[in-house]
Amino acid sequence: MTGVEETYKRIEGYEDQIITFQADLTSRVALGPDNGGTGEHEKAAYLKKRLKELGPDHFEEIRAPDMRAKDGYRPNIIALWERHIRTPATWVLCHMDIVPPGDLSLWDGDPYQVRVEEGKIIGRGVEDNQHGIVSSYFALKAIQESGVTFRRPVGLAFVADEETGSEYGLDYLLKNHGELFKNDDLIIVPDGGNEDGTMIEVAEKSMLWIKFTVTGKQCHASTPDKGNNSLYGAARLIVDLEGLKKEFNLEDDIFSPSISTFEPTKFEANVPNINTIPGKDVFYIDCRILPSYQVEDIVESAKNIAKDLAKRLDLSIKVEQVYIYDVNANDFENDVLTYSLLSYPKGMTIDTLTGIINWIPAKEQIGEHEITVNVEDRWRNDTQNFTIEASEILLTSIDVVPEYIILAEKYSNLLSQKFLTVTANYDYGSSKSIALSECNYESSDENIAFADHTGMISATSRGKAVITVSYTENGIKKSDTIDVFVRSLPSGEG
């Protein structure tokens, strides 16, 4: 039996160990701060212990500073065997972080407790990317136990933050510990493929995120004729955007799937109560585009679809490209080019293979930012410098719901504090809920009705009063109104 055959045989005998390994990893939740977690520390601690059992020549934990995470850092693990051999190394690169499980009601059990059904391990993260961690670990273990001699250095890199940009994972390693990797090293990334493991990815599609803000007119659900339902408009727009698939329908079998994809994903919360027709809805689509197409053409087509629907439904629809910048470079010898950011604001990322930059600025990042992009092959490099400006988002209006209430004479509406909602709207399509205590209230006739600083509305005598609700932010004041109708209690009540 050859060394390779012996290795395969040993791997087949690891089934129970693999299931246990997957269960141990899955129970150690590794959500980054952007996904509501504290980082990958618990999973990293477990992997450190398991890797040391394989006796690496070099082992280190590299901590990327991240004050949002537990203990102020994100862990990255490096392990090397046969480091002394003077040949290019073979690396397996995997990530420890996972994405949230989503709607728990759609799981048949606890997503962080694995179960085995029909030969498949089910649990959050078992495929993305624990299958890479587990397969590389047991492949190395089997090779060692089979007595096969390494002919080149072998390394395992288990990194943080792949799911939200790699700023605290691979990107941090390349910028601060680039000496670990040589230009002619072979790096295997088991983060995709097919069921029988025969697919090897050699290219990636361009990535594009588009934000759509649909604005109509908010009103009470009992009087839809007084408003214009933005949720209906958003739903219609999502259906109309299916047209992108027909317009950009080329196929390329080098990719899987072989087509460009355009999928609606995130939908922001609108009104908090069921009896209000929303006046603003925001959603996003994720686009993965074949190299045959330009990103700009996709955006332009999406804008045309939105413009046509907005005209038909009398809505306002804003189409925004979540910041993306495509850096293009050519190499006359057709060497593989690698892109990186040398100077950039926090949160900005670049795809190392395509050169596409993504960034969503934070409030404290308003102003100009100098960007330096580096591209290199095995022999030389070049840089590009440019400036981008992030603008301040300003308050444009507020919406008060409901539009009216009916009270009995000499009655304080205690429930008004619960059901009265104030939403602040901003340019660039964003919005947020405002606490009632942050608003000011003025009545057109306090002898009929008035509101105190908590938003509680009280009636004093019969008639109609208009309560003006105002909110001020950064020196900008916006107002909306609520009509209060005060009636007498029927005889025998009160």
Within a domain: residue 199? no
Active site residue 34: no
Residues 167 and 220 in one domain: no
Nearest of 152, 153, 171, 151 to residue 161 by alpha carbon: 171
Q: Count up the domains in the chain and report the number.
A: 3
The reported pLDDT for the residue numbered 382 is 83
Active site residue 97: yes
Query: For the chain, what is the mean pLDDT?
Result: 86
The reported pLDDT for the residue numbered 444 is 95
Q: For the chain, which residues score pLDDT lower than 50?
A: 415, 417-418, 492-494
The reported pLDDT for the residue numbered 429 is 57
- pTM recorded for the entire structure: 0.52
Residues 233 and 377 in one domain: yes
Question: How many residues comprise the chain?
Answer: 494
Residues 224 and 184 in one domain: no
Residues 136 and 233 in one domain: no
The reported pLDDT for the residue numbered 493 is 45
Which position among 40, 97, 163, 376 bears the catalytic label?
97
Please identify, among 390, 407, 425, the residue that sits at the C-terminal boundary of a domain.
Answer: 390
The two three-digit tokens of residue 94, written as one number: 């995997």
The reported pLDDT for the residue numbered 494 is 45
DSSP 424-486: EEEGGG-EEEE-GGGSEEEES-TTTEEE-TTS-EEE-SSEEEEEEEEEEETTEEEEEEEEEEE
The two three-digit tokens of residue 368, written as one number: 């100009």
Which position among 40, 66, 161, 162 bears the catalytic label?
162
The two beta strands, 404-408 and 476-487, are parallel
Within a domain: residue 201? no
Residues 37 and 183 in one domain: yes
Within a domain: residue 337? yes
Q: What percent of the chain has pLDDT over 70?
A: 91
The two three-digit tokens of residue 487, written as one number: 């009636």
Within a domain: residue 127? yes
Give residue 7's domain range.
3-188
The reported pLDDT for the residue numbered 177 is 92
Within a domain: residue 493? no
3-state secondary structure 45-109: HHHHHHHHCCCCCEEEEEEEECCCCHHHEEEEEEEEECCCCCCCCEEEEEECCCCCCCCHHHCCC
pLDDT digits 0-9 by tens, 341-383: 988 998 888 888 778 787 878 778 888 898 999 888 767 788 8
The reported pLDDT for the residue numbered 158 is 97
